[in-house]
A and B are shown apart, each in its own frame.
Chain A
């Protein structure tokens, strides 16, 4: 029998659907900057050292935005982390403990990667820039692999006892394991990398259309071509890994559930097809040259990330359903606290927007061209 902890006596602080919505919303926010550093950092390093003049220029632009992307991505990651622990604690904690050392290693790796990103962006010494950038890019990809390990193990409790049996010392896991035997591990990891490439490409288009102000048309044309190329590679990668994941590794009951209801089947189809829209917009932007098309492509990419977040949550729920009925946990509602949270979030967004707009206006004043 799979060892699942009993439910918390405190129940849920709001209805299940709302917790799930907050979790998905948080992941959606997190995934944007996370995608950017995940694929953007390797791209920046490769372009910096293998690219031509334009490639190096783009690499520097990508590098300069990475410290902020990581800061925001880590910050936005807190929300899904919080709500995962409220809703999925019975699965999240055991999976983490079984792979405790690698999972804890994420913190050390991220610290090194983050400082490496700063060095890569700020240093003028070529060797140091290369070493720091390459190390950071590799570490960020490795962190993605560790995340894929924990979250695939979390949704596959059937694997727990096998890992536990291999690593337990007098009934207590040593934490020296990875979820390498899980068939979903590699496609999940690779699929996310494909999605990250598309997001990085959409960002490059946005940057080229709106933020890059050198006025160099040859660079703009080159960056446009590069963005479309990167998006295309990411799209193919995402489709290949996604097909492997869905058709090659999903349990039968998940596959059946995905086609049992038209709404869910439509969601799955939309998730698969969604990246086609930003790709199309990017191609149009390259041909027509209207900056708004790049903005629309970036917005559509945000939608792609969002629909992926919703689909992932649905799959996760179906995978966990045989082990616990998460939707039937009693609710001890904390509506006042929830209201305070929403109000604070709105206020925070307002304050952040005010500051960013002020900075943007000041920046435009100091860089009129």
Chain B
């Protein structure tokens, strides 16, 4: 509430984070797993008789650079852009705790980029040993960047009760870090296989020796990746906060996504064994595209689940999902949400000077405004208090969620959203503000659907 909230109709601005993050993570994981594939492939390729494999790897390395160094790097910056725009307070919080971890990640990223270029441009120029060292440097630095960023995203889900005095490393090595590193390492190996299959299916003749070698090599490591995903995923679940476990059990959408995730992972492992590992000729364009699509679906589902189970927080225990610092909630409930919000105060002060008393919004004056103005101010409250998770109409649209509700029902939920659903943040304003938000919500609620029994079982409408 200390930063302006970016209004994105229908979708909500935080959903843009999910979209860009998914587009990035899919390739960022490939950048990590692909490094291992290239390192292992180069090792096999530099052995006697490995020339054709090496020739193929050269083609693959170019594809790899075009995807990871260009698209992957820029969408990574895109994640920075979008989190600063859609969730500035949480970004502020994380960067002040983890700036030097991000600095470390940057150094790993620097080595990653340079080693990728040197590996590619050194082909046929560098001796075999140096060439292999270069690709191993790439693989290690890419994996280290995964480790470093995972410690930060893991902290968002389980801070392990961290406080400022506990120091940075306690924050980094939180209970979620290791399981998430294991799961993400596994995911990266699996996703790398999907990209390799796609490339090999399009570039190599089926039934050829190189096709078979690359399919088997990648499938073997991808199956290991699948096992890591299961082990890491189990650790992630066990070490999640109780609210995250409860959210997984309570929300139907998360149930479905989790089942989908595990089912896809299990299916991919089985298909990897039956297909590319035992019968490499299975790897044709259709198979590869199917696998690729499954991987993308699993990545998107994983990102959605990861974001959803943190609710009501963005940074667990510290920053609420609606961009409010937990420590500031008690004051906001006394002095008013609008008063405590830097931009809401400026906006209301400009538009409704009659509400001001010595520069502060006088809560007692809110109920005396005409209904139209109360609704307008209620909409301001909605933007800053609710719009992070709910559009008015659109994604998780509140107009549908409160369809047919009475004013009293809406007021009950507004006064204590966390009682209505434990994954919603608490009400962070005064009772007067709750009333104006209720006025607004009542004005956008759609009517009870026709053709059903009346609420309370009074017969058909």
Contact = CB atoms under 8 A, between A and B. Distances in A.
A97 B4 contact: yes
A210 interface: no
B441 to A, nearest CB: 13
A182 B2 CA distance: 24
A358 B126 contact: yes
A355 B3 contact: no
Residues of A contacting B: mostly: helix
Nearest to A168: B347
B88 A104 contact: no
Contact of A175 (B7, B96, B114, B384): B7
B246 interface: no
Contact of B382 (A100, A104, A170): A170
A84 B88 CA distance: 13
Interface stretch (B98-106, B253-261, B275-283): B98-106
A86 B99 CA distance: 8
A180 interface: no
A365 B122 CA distance: 12
Q: Give the residue among B80, B110, B347 with the most A Cβ atoms within 10 A.
A: B110
Interface residues of B, number: 79
A71 interface: yes
A250 to B, nearest CB: 26
Contact of A82 (B74, B106, B122, B345): B106
B130 A352 contact: no
Interface stretch (B64-72, B204-212, B423-431, B449-457): B64-72
For chain A, give the interface size range: 35 or more
A78 B96 contact: no
A97 B3 contact: yes
B125 A366 contact: yes
B92 interface: yes
Contact of A93 (B91, B100, B107, B327): B91
A352 B106 CA distance: 13
Contact of A86 (B20, B96, B122): B96
Contact of B5 (A83, A110, A172, A344): A172
A301 B113 CA distance: 25
B113 A71 contact: yes
Contacts, number: 229
Nearest to B148: A344
Contacts of A359: 118, 121-122, 125-126
B168 interface: yes
B18 to A, nearest CB: 14
Contact of B387 (A172, A174, A351): A172
Interface stretch (A7-15, A44-52, A134-142, A233-241): A7-15
A28 interface: no
A144 B4 CA distance: 24
A68 B117 contact: yes
A317 B68 CA distance: 36
Contacts of A85: 84, 91-92, 95
Contacts of B285: none
Contact of A172 (B4, B73, B77, B169): B4
A128 to B, nearest CB: 16
Contacts of B70: 67, 70-71, 111, 114-115, 118
Contact of B74 (A8, A107, A366): A107
A264 interface: no
A89 interface: yes
B348 A71 contact: no
B103 A79 contact: yes
Interface string B1-29: 01111111000010010001000000000
B440 to A, nearest CB: 9
Contacts of A280: none
A19 to B, nearest CB: 8
B438 interface: no
A79 B95 CA distance: 12
A351 B91 CA distance: 31
Given A175-B85, A358-B130, A344 B107 contact: yes
Contact of A1 (B75, B99, B346, B387): B346
Contacts of B344: 171
A77 B110 CA distance: 11
Interface in B111-135: 111, 113-115, 117-118, 121-122, 124-127, 130, 134
A351 to B, nearest CB: 5
A92 B89 CA distance: 12
A257 interface: no
B96 A8 contact: yes
B109 interface: yes
Interface of B: 2-8, 13, 16, 20, 66, 69-71, 73-75, 77-78, 80-82, 84-85, 88-89, 91-93, 95-97, 99-104, 106-111, 113-115, 117-118, 121-122, 124-127, 130, 134, 137, 164, 167-169, 325, 327, 342-348, 350, 376, 379-380, 382-384, 387
Given A13-B100, A172-B387, A358-B134, 5 more contacts: A13-B96, A171-B344, A173-B7, A334-B168, A362-B122
The 8 closest A-B pairs by CB, nearest first: A337-B100, A172-B7, A5-B2, A93-B88, A171-B380, A10-B96, A107-B78, A362-B125
Interface of A: 1, 3-6, 8-13, 67-68, 70-72, 74-75, 77-79, 81-83, 85-86, 89, 92-94, 96-98, 100, 103-104, 106-107, 110-111, 114-115, 118, 161, 164-165, 168-175, 332, 334, 336-338, 340-341, 344-345, 347-348, 351-352, 355-356, 358-359, 362-363, 365-366
6 contacts: A107-B20, A169-B383, A171-B380, A172-B384, A337-B100, A355-B118
